Amino acid sequence: MRFVIFGLTVSSSWGNGHATIWRGLCNSLSGEGHSVTFFEKDVPYYRSHRDLVCSSRYTLELYRDWPDIEDRARAALRECDCAIVTSYCPDARVASDLILESKVFSVFYDLDTPVTLDGLARNGEVNYIPVFGLEPFNLVLSYTGGDALTELSRQLGARRVAPLYGSVDPDVHRHVSCDPSFRSDFSYLGTYAADRQPQLEELFLSPAKKVPGKKFCIAGAMYPADFPWTSNTYFVRHLAPPQHPAFYSSSRMTLNITRSTMAQMGYCPSGRLFEAAACGTPIVSDWWGGLDTFFTPGDEILIARNSDDVLQAMNSEESELNRISCAARERVLAQHTAAHRASELISLIEASA
């Protein structure tokens, strides 16, 4: 099958979760004999933080402005079997028009559904959603399941909608040797977001204050100058995806925090959950509806609702943490790899064609 994708980015993982998702999916689709061309607008923000220039397994088409790429995009659509446009794609609307005009099998993939629905409620529209909604697309995919699927149909007219959750590439995310620069008792990997900050303060910074002899490490982008660091909290400004395994493998435990709009809707597993589990690192996570469909609390993941829960988790015996991390890793490798998602994508397309 030949794919053409119009997305936010695959070339830069800086400050977004899209790039890692697409790298895994594109590699897995290619590995199964499918061809992929990914169109990405070459914006300054990602250009200055690019950690992938090209791939031997799929084609990356970088462009400055839509008129520069329109003819190439039109030609690619004539040769493809399936075209996908994603949330936050800078040219999502014109790309959608071109896809629907081409009559190719069309997919809209919303990797930010709760944000999309929140934007609709606040402003009446979202700039990456076509003005006519999602009804014309043959298939609408959502990174978030549960009620999000119903709302995409109710509010935006999606006729056939299905979840396509995050995933992990086990060839990349696996346990590696500890890196002393990342060594910590408790870690957190994530881009700064204001709506995650209350949870970060409760589940990370508050425990850090209570156990000053332990080392806490945060890695991510866009943290403000006035972030309330503690004396035992260390900061790594940004980690490219190839460094994630070393970061997780150097953490005794790691924290997952979900953005509030996503947590409220539920069924929103972050790719970081799958990455950490694949690296064999015990995970402490905030709670959201549907989490127990991906990991079994107490057996494969630990749940924290406050700082005391985090401290209790940190006091767990090593044997117990090893049991939990091994079970989580087995679950991820059996159900949540990029290869699983690529297979799901092909099955969804075939069932909808």
What confidence tens digit (pLDDT) does each residue in 52-76 have? 888 889 999 999 999 999 999 999 9
> In 10 A of CB 67, how many CB atoms?
9
Whole-number pLDDT of residue 161:
98
Q: Which residues contact 2 (CB under 8 A, 6 or more apart)?
A: 34, 35, 79, 80, 81, 82
**What pTM value is reported for the model?**
0.93
Whole-number pLDDT of residue 256:
98
Q: Which two tokens stand for residue 108?
A: 């809209």
Whole-number pLDDT of residue 353:
82
Whole-number pLDDT of residue 255:
98
d(CA 268, CA 245): 22
> In 10 A of CB 49, how many CB atoms?
17
Whole-number pLDDT of residue 237:
84
Whole-number pLDDT of residue 113:
96
Whole-number pLDDT of residue 52:
86
Whole-number pLDDT of residue 53:
81
Q: Which residues contact 338 (CB under 8 A, 6 or more apart)?
A: 24, 25, 27, 28, 167, 168, 169
d(CA 65, CA 127): 17
Whole-number pLDDT of residue 304:
98
Whole-number pLDDT of residue 221:
85
Per residue in 75-113, pLDDT (tens digit) is 999 999 999 999 999 999 999 999 999 989 999 999 999
Q: Which residues contact 106 (CB under 8 A, 6 or more apart)?
A: 82, 83, 96, 99, 100, 136, 137, 138, 139
Whole-number pLDDT of residue 261:
87
Q: Which residues of the chain have pLDDT under 70?
A: none
What is the rounded (10 degree) CA torsion for 93, 94, 96, 100? 140
